[in-house]
Amino acid sequence: VENSLSTPSRACLMTGLYSHQNGQRQLGKGIDTTKVFFSEILQQHGYQTGVVGKWHMQCEPKGFDYYHVLWDQGDYYNPDFITQTNDTIQRHGYITNLITDDAIDWMENKRDKEKPFCLLIHHKAIHRNWMADTCNLALYEDKEFTLPDNFFDDYEGRPAAAAQEMSVVKDMDMIYDLKMLRSDKNSRLKSLYEKFLGRMDEGQRAAWDKFYAPIIEDFYKQNLQGKELANWKFQRYMRDYMKTVKSLDDNVGRVLD
């Protein structure tokens, strides 16, 4: 695709057009719904079409015999889905599993098996803020990830690169991204993270707190600074990231099986 942002990327995929041609130049509104989606062409040629998971183009999925798509960006735990009857329903569970369940159910039980089909499986993972499934929380905690050679780059002579807001050291939110939630600590995105936690049921939240509580306590006790803090952030980020990838890998395997 021709755009690295998720929604414009999806618009390029659906239309086969560059962002300045399909109207979706950024996140939010923009897609020109008069443009033909490739799913419509497949329908015209006898295919059954479906899409499950992330959509986030602020228009109804077009050219699909079946869709079950996430509300907005989607939540890692107990997410809301939009159905073809325009209902918004909350489903219980972890998002990567739920999307896969829906995809497999459609392939095995809902499609016309006399017809060729095209099913788009759009996962939220591994989107920020990398909330792993509770069954994977303990993975990779003994793994030390190697820092990239340019991790401490000062971007000298490259003002555009220096202006980016994707730095692990500078821009990762201690609570939202790195999960270091404590009542006496604040961050710019703390309330959003608390909203995500609020979607969990009692068992999910208990497993989450049981895992992160000792990490949180140890982190604030250490009071790390400078490069030690930067390395800690990188390790915490990579472990959460890889746990989220693990679930995605497992679910891709389920679909292939």
Tens of pLDDT, residues 214-244: 999 999 999 999 999 999 999 999 999 999 9
Instruction: Give the position of tokens 């999960």.
Output: 179
Query: What's the rounded Cα separation, in Å, for the pair 21 and 15?
Result: 9
SS3 138: coil
Question: What's the whole-number mean pLDDT along residues 97-102?
Answer: 98
Query: What's the rounded Cα separation, in Å, for the pair 70 and 82?
Result: 6
Q: pTM of the prediction?
A: 0.94
Residue 4 is predicted with a pLDDT of 86
Nearest Cα to Cα of residue 61 among 76, 46, 82, 42? 82
Question: What's the whole-number mean pLDDT along residues 69-92?
Answer: 95
Nearest Cα to Cα of residue 9 among 41, 51, 53, 55? 55
Residue 15 is predicted with a pLDDT of 97
pLDDT tens, position by position, 109-166: 999 999 999 999 999 999 999 999 999 999 999 999 999 999 999 999 999 999 989 8
Residue 29 above 90 pLDDT? no
Neighbours of 48 (CB within 10 A): 20
